[in-house]
Amino acid sequence: MINQRIQTAIATALVVALVGTATACSGGDKPRATTDGQNPAAANEGGTVGGTPRRGGTLTILSNQDFSHLDPARNWTMPNMDFGIRLLYRTLTTFKAAPGKEGTEVVPDLATDLGTPSNGGRTWTFTLKEGVRYEDGSPVRAQDVKYNVERSFSPDLTGGPDYAARYLADTDGYQGPLTGEHLDSVKTPDDRTIVFELNRPVAEFGSTATLPTFAPVPKSKEAGARYDNRPFSSGPYRIESYEREKKLVLVRNKHWDPATDDVRKAYPDRFVMLMGLKGSQIDDRLIAGKGGDASAVQWSDLQPGSAAKVLPRAEVRERLVAESGGCTEMLQLNTSRPPFDDQRVREAMHHAVDKEAVVTAGGGPALVDVATAYLPPALTGGRQPDTLKIAPEGDQEKAKQLLKAAGKDGVKASLTVSTGDKGRAEAIQQALGRAGVRVEINTVDPAAYYDTVGDTRNAPDMVLAGWCPDYPSGSTFLPFVFDGRYIKEKGNSGNYSQFRDKATKRRIDEINAMTDPKAAERAWRELDAEILAKAPAVPVTLKRKPLLVGPNVAGAFGHPVWAGQLDYATIGLKDPAKSGN
């Protein structure tokens, strides 16, 4: 097809222009993006675009979508966590604001250190810093962190991290603080001390405390589901106005004290997020970089079709950030009902998907690579294993044979994707069609996508969704995507395949009980291959996150933990006066 050849040519140019030292694929005839976590697009040393920002001005964010959630009890998609944690609220611990491997380092945030374990790692104690205040000047208290942890159990506040439910002791049947009940396993002996009693030793709990579950929410500010619209700030900015689907304005929290915060620099005076724009419109505005757009950045990925407008122009290309997302995108198969309750049908999907076509549809091999396992390269020694040995373009004839062996003479299946993923969904649809599977594609607005596919009663047959480790450990990946004990009727996250496998659950428990981290990581990799053979999901791609920034933007880099989203802790402007505010 002419379009595919054009996209392939663009993708090849992308490799030459941005990567330079791309490795060859198994066939040796197509370039592939490196997957070493380095940013191939950064023009400046250290992976930061634009130099050091100056204080002041307005940074504008151009977006095609609203946030799914900003409530810290519900915020569990990587870009949204980055935005909330860096600008609106602080967590007990957080990640360093730095590109590359340095950014994966966990550092204290609200707490004075990374926590003190006792009782063999079953008890963790944190002491809050003095002088941390909310936007009204009142002090942040340990009781407020406890309250937000308790909120994460509320059935009305779905979609958020469920580490508390997995790790805390004595939580069976708990429904959150609005019932009047509180957790005995979270203690606050005074305003600055919080103690967590766990149901098993967790050596990494200091990293777990980076999640927004461990941000403070005062009981007096509780608003249930409406808290999404107006989180009460403990960070450097507060919400001035928020029109859903239209515009969000952040201004400084005058009570934020930088002396208590070693991570956030808070360079701009204001952040303005404009929503509901078309992706191609955002690309064109930032490519031009004129007027107020010179001080703007984009929220969602550069459109694949815009690559030809960016790459030939060095002055634009140097403003492109493309950090590795650190995530694996999967085609998750609903195992709770036909046709994917049959493992043979699921195995056929492994062979039916043309991953090379999905790579092309996603912008080409410089920004997208083929995935061969569930765990991303950062958790498998820098490169994913390929235990199934299926060609990247798939084997549709083999898929037909497997379907025939399963007694399936023609299969119909629905596929739900975010609107921005329609091109990749069509590549999957075409390949599965050649294998005899008729696919109906349904698209959902990105802001509502995870709430939609997380409704298990109305779940589609297939979902295209990625998973990113919350911190560098296999314990933050496989249990969340494939442990059937944590599937929820509403707000289901991760396990969209609704995979319930006794052997997998048993092995997850065994690995979680290991005290040797290196042995545990080896075991996670072995379990990855075991689950892959049972085929609840097809690993499809590994992506970078291509984002353009305006020519007046400084301090821009993709954070390695939050899926390559710009780190809003340190971004700002070269000349604040040119931002118009």
Mean pLDDT, range 6-15, rounded to an integer = 35
Per-residue pLDDT tens digits for 155-191: 999 999 999 999 999 999 999 999 999 999 999 999 9
Between CA 189 and CA 19 the distance in angstroms is: 53
Please check whether the two domains, 66-252 and 326-544, share a CATH topology.
Answer: no
Per-residue pLDDT tens digits for 119-158: 999 999 999 999 999 999 999 999 999 999 999 999 999 9
Task: Kindly tell me if the per-residue pLDDT of 29 is higher than 80.
Answer: no
Q: What is the pLDDT of residue 14?
A: 40
Per-residue pLDDT tens digits for 522-560: 999 999 999 999 999 999 999 899 999 999 999 999 999
Mean pLDDT, range 227-254, rounded to an integer = 98
Per-residue pLDDT tens digits for 249-275: 999 999 999 999 999 999 999 999 999
Mean pLDDT, range 442-447, rounded to an integer = 93
Q: What is the pLDDT of residue 581?
A: 64
Between CA 253 and CA 241 the distance in angstroms is: 14
**260 and 131 Cβ atoms separated by less than 8 Å:** yes
Task: Kindly tell me if the per-residue pLDDT of 32 is higher than 90.
Answer: no
Neighbours of 262 (CB within 10 A): 13
Q: What is the pLDDT of residue 252?
A: 98
Q: Which two tokens stand for residue 509?
A: 């428990």
Per-residue pLDDT tens digits for 471-502: 999 999 999 999 999 999 998 999 999 999 99
Which SS3 state, helix, strand or coil, does residue 234 take? coil
What's the mean per-residue pLDDT of the chain?
91
Bigger pLDDT: 42 vs 538: 538
Task: Kindly tell me if the per-residue pLDDT of 403 is higher than 70.
Answer: yes
- Whether a cis peptide bond, with omega within 30° of 0, leads into 339 is yes
Where exactly are the structural domains of the chain? 66-252, 326-544
Q: Which two tokens stand for residue 48?
A: 């930061």
Mean pLDDT, range 326-349, rounded to an integer = 97
Q: Which helix (H) or strand (E) holds 3?
A: helix 2-14
Task: Kindly tell me if the per-residue pLDDT of 443 is higher than 60.
Answer: yes
Mean pLDDT, range 499-521, rounded to an integer = 95
Please spell the DSSP secondary structure of 104-135, one letter per residue: G-EEESSBSSS-EEEGGGTEEEEEBPTT-B-T
Q: What is the pLDDT of residue 292?
A: 96
Q: Which helix (H) or strand (E) holds 545?
A: strand 537-548
What's the predicted TM-score (pTM) here? 0.88
Mean pLDDT, range 220-228, rounded to an integer = 97
Q: What percent of the chain has pLDDT over 70?
A: 92
Mean pLDDT, range 441-468, rounded to an integer = 94
**185 and 197 Cβ atoms separated by less than 8 Å:** yes
Phi and psi dihedrals of 548, rounded to 5? -90, 145
Q: Of 253, 188, 243, give the one whose Cα is nearest residue 219.
A: 188
Cα of first residue to Cα of last residue in the chain, in angstroms, is: 48
CATH of 66-252, one of 3.40.190.10, 1.10.10.10, 3.20.20.70, 3.65.10.10: 3.40.190.10
Task: Kindly tell me if the per-residue pLDDT of 316 is higher than 90.
Answer: yes
Q: What percent of the chain has pLDDT over 90?
A: 85
Q: Which two tokens stand for residue 252?
A: 């400084």
Please spell the DSSP secondary structure of 411-457, one letter per residue: EEEEEEEEGGGHHHHHHHHHHHHHTTEEEEEEEE-GGGHHHHHT-GG
Per-residue pLDDT tens digits for 185-208: 999 999 999 999 999 999 999 999
Q: Of 413, 365, 417, give the one whose Cα is nearest residue 392.
A: 365
* Residue 579 CB burial class (10 angstroms; 0-12, 13-18, ≥19): buried
Q: Of 400, 411, 462, give the one whose Cα is nearest residue 437.
A: 411
Q: What is the pLDDT of residue 86?
A: 98
CATH number of the domain located at residue range(s) 326-544 in this protein: 3.10.105.10
Task: Kindly tell me if the per-residue pLDDT of 98 is higher than 50.
Answer: yes
* Residue 128 CB burial class (10 angstroms; 0-12, 13-18, ≥19): buried
Q: What is the pLDDT of residue 311?
A: 80
